[in-house]
Amino acid sequence: MGEYTNVTEIFGEDVFNDSVMQQRLPKKVYKELKQTILEGKELSLEVADVIAHEMKEWAIEKGATHYTHWFQPLTGVTAEKHDAFITAPLPSGKVLMSFSGKELIKGEPDASSFPSGGLRATFEARGYTAWDCTSPAFVRHDAAGATLCIPTAFCSYTGEALDQKTPLLRSMQAVGTQALRLVRLFGDTTAKRVIPSVGAEQEYFLVSEKMFSKRKDLVFTGRTLFGAMPPKGQEMDDHYLGTIRQRVSAYMKHVNEELWKLGVTAKTQHNEVAPAQHELAPIFAEANVEVDHNQIIMQTLKRVASQHGMKCLLHEKPFAGVNGSGKHNNWSLTTDTGVNLLDPGYTPHENIQFLLILSCVLKAVDRHADLLRESASDVGNDHRLGANEAPPAIVSVFLGDQLTDVMTQLITTGMADHSIESEKLETGVKSIPEFMRDTTDRNRTSPFAFTGNKFEFRMVGSRDSIAPANVVLNTIVAEAFKEACDELEKAEDFSLAVHDLIKKNFTEHQRIVFNGNGYSQEWVEEAERRGLPNLTCMVEAVDTLTSEKAVELFEKFGVFTKAELESRQEIKYETYSKAINIEAKTMLDIAGKQIIPAVIKYTKNLADSINAIVSAGVLDVDVQTELLQLTSQLLKETKEAMENLKTVSEKAHDMEDGRDKAYFYRRQVIPAMDALRKPVDELEMIVDKEIWPMPSYGDLLFEV
């Protein structure tokens, strides 16, 4: 029996949260900090000094010796520089432990060493981290001891955003301002803020650390570049929501405890579709807090896995032929008085505020589907989007029967006089309690689905930050809200104007609504007829970042400048090229140093065996000879494919960084990689397992 965990006792124990601040800070200081958090009021250095002192004392009580500004540069992972609390030695040789308000508010990491996309030259090294007081500080315990982690934004010396957090906070301000205007139109005078709320479901794989270390492709790239399918994969559907294995259960328990201590509301856990694949989902939080929490979740999943003799794989497609991993980004808008603006109520056709908001979201997604697709673009996601377990690369919105019916009524007649009502679920079993089924089914093939009182954006990759997706969602909805408020605030007859606007939005943007099978070829053809963008890969999606429409949108709301967009575009092209280059070099390394020597050894053994059989007077060696010929032919194809991949990789490497280079990797290097993989995977099915140089898919997927 495992030890009992009292969640209420440990939850948030390592977080400098509101209750800790109320307890430790003077009332006046606490009040000023809350005004900064809720109203954006500037925090004085004197107040910051008091907060810093109490934060340090609290952290030291938790065992902390160091603090770090914890930020999210454009590398795809978090960054931190640790400083001890100690001061210069006193004449007595003793040291004091100190932490000032200045140190809390501002840090200075080297900005030139992080991706900037040309915003900063190499010699322009200064950058700043600035405390995000809306996301609580926490103490992390690991092999280094205890460290006080302070969530921060990261910007250049000249003020440009070099991170994921800064534009997210800007976008939250934008949508909050416009949403508040909208609810005021409907008579809400009590709400002071509207906050985007997010819940991110995290999918991941667990494999044996011993097996992982024997696969260079997993070590260097996070995914398998070679691998034949095992006899059994996911076709029996027996892993999804199946009984969780004991070793994995122990791991999940450990992960939950670590997350609960850090205030992360880990709630749901289960087996996913593929063998060795699992999912963890938290409860909703404010968007910037959830972005931080998701980073904590990913780091905790990986750290705890190592403590259990396993490796956590967060790549979107670590194994070809089986389910990939995504991150479902559930998004809604909530007032500070607790009202969810995406809750349709029992009679959506009568909820005019909800219908206006819904129509604005449809307008936003239809107008900027390309940007939403780009926000989920990633090298690994190119392997996943459009496959059987993930939404297609075409952005569409699922509304379900009830809301689609209300929309249709408004489009055709200008009025909606009814909503489809829920009915009892008939199971045919008397002993099962009766309950009302939902008014609409779910559609797992939709990339952007309305799911009761929120939208679920299912495109985000499993290892990616959820910040870019929410930056886009917040900003495009802010634009739609602004245009609606600009029109309605000057209307003489508000009731008539709002009905006309809802009908107009639904009519002009109904093409984005699709409730059918998003995986079908028919939908691809239908989407083309509707004029919806189909950006099939990352480099195509990244092209949209600097379109005239995108620049106008982001500059209008102060979320990105044109220079910041251009820098991100350049970083993404460069990231794509570098990632594919690493994969190509890894393939060449594995094929040249492991695969080919192993196959040569196998063919030599086979040839020696044939000679021995013939020498013994047995003449029937047709099968052995045929096998030797097939293996030799595949070996030749492997060598030729290697030479071709080496040639195109060298050509790509010599190209200037940027868009052309990224497209070359996409169109030339990736097909060459696929061509090398094909004969190698066939050889794996022939060569003696004792000779094959690395663990198979079966070893990886079923060992844990």
Considering only 228-237, 524-533, 535-544, which range has the smallest mean pLDDT?
Answer: 228-237
Which pLDDT score is estimated for 215?
A: 97
Which pLDDT score is estimated for 442?
A: 60
Percent of the chain with pLDDT over 90: 67
Choice between 649 and 108, residue whose per-residue pLDDT is larger: 649
Percent of the chain with pLDDT over 70: 92
Amino acid in the structure at residue 483: E
> To which residue do tokens 């060795």 refer?
276
Using pLDDT thresholds of 50, 70 and 90, give the confidence band for residue 234.
confident
Segment (H or E) for 55 = helix 45-61
Using pLDDT thresholds of 50, 70 and 90, give the confidence band for residue 388.
very low
CB 65 within 8 A of CB 145: yes
**Of the candidates 23, 20, 24, 44, the residue with the CA atom closest to the CA atom of residue 32:** 44
C-alpha 133/C-alpha 14 separation (Å) is 16
C-alpha 180/C-alpha 163 separation (Å) is 27
CB 702 within 8 A of CB 276: yes
Which pLDDT score is estimated for 531?
A: 95
State residue 180 phi and psi, 5-degree precision: -65, -40
C-alpha 258/C-alpha 263 separation (Å) is 9
Give, to the nearest 10 degrees, the angle between helix 352-367 and helix 494-509.
40
Which pLDDT score is estimated for 481?
A: 98
Which pLDDT score is estimated for 123?
A: 52
Is 478's pLDDT higher than 50? yes
Amino acid in the structure at residue 61: E
Residue 28, both tokens: 């006046």
CB 404 within 8 A of CB 515: yes
Three-state DSSP string of 75-101:
CCCCECCEEECECCCCCCCCCCECCCH
Which pLDDT score is estimated for 102?
A: 87
Is 335's pLDDT higher than 90? yes
Which pLDDT score is estimated for 237?
A: 65
DSSP string, 591-614: IIIIIHHHHHHHHHHHHHHHHHHH
Selection from 24-38, 70-84, 567-581 with the highest mean pLDDT: 567-581
Express each pLDDT in 241-250 by its tens digit.
788 899 999 9
Considering the chain, what is the average pLDDT of its residues?
89
State residue 398 phi and psi, 5-degree precision: -100, 125
Express each pLDDT in 565-620 by its tens digit.
999 999 999 999 999 999 999 999 999 999 999 999 999 999 998 888 888 877 78
C-alpha 672/C-alpha 344 separation (Å) is 51
Q: Give first-to-last CA distance, the chain, whole Å.
A: 21
Residue 618, both tokens: 């047995």
Choice between 126 and 341, residue whose per-residue pLDDT is larger: 341
Residue 74, both tokens: 């454009």
Is 423's pLDDT higher than 70? no
| Burial class, 88, CB count within 10 angstroms (exposed 0-12 / middle 13-18 / buried 19+) | exposed
Which pLDDT score is estimated for 124?
A: 58
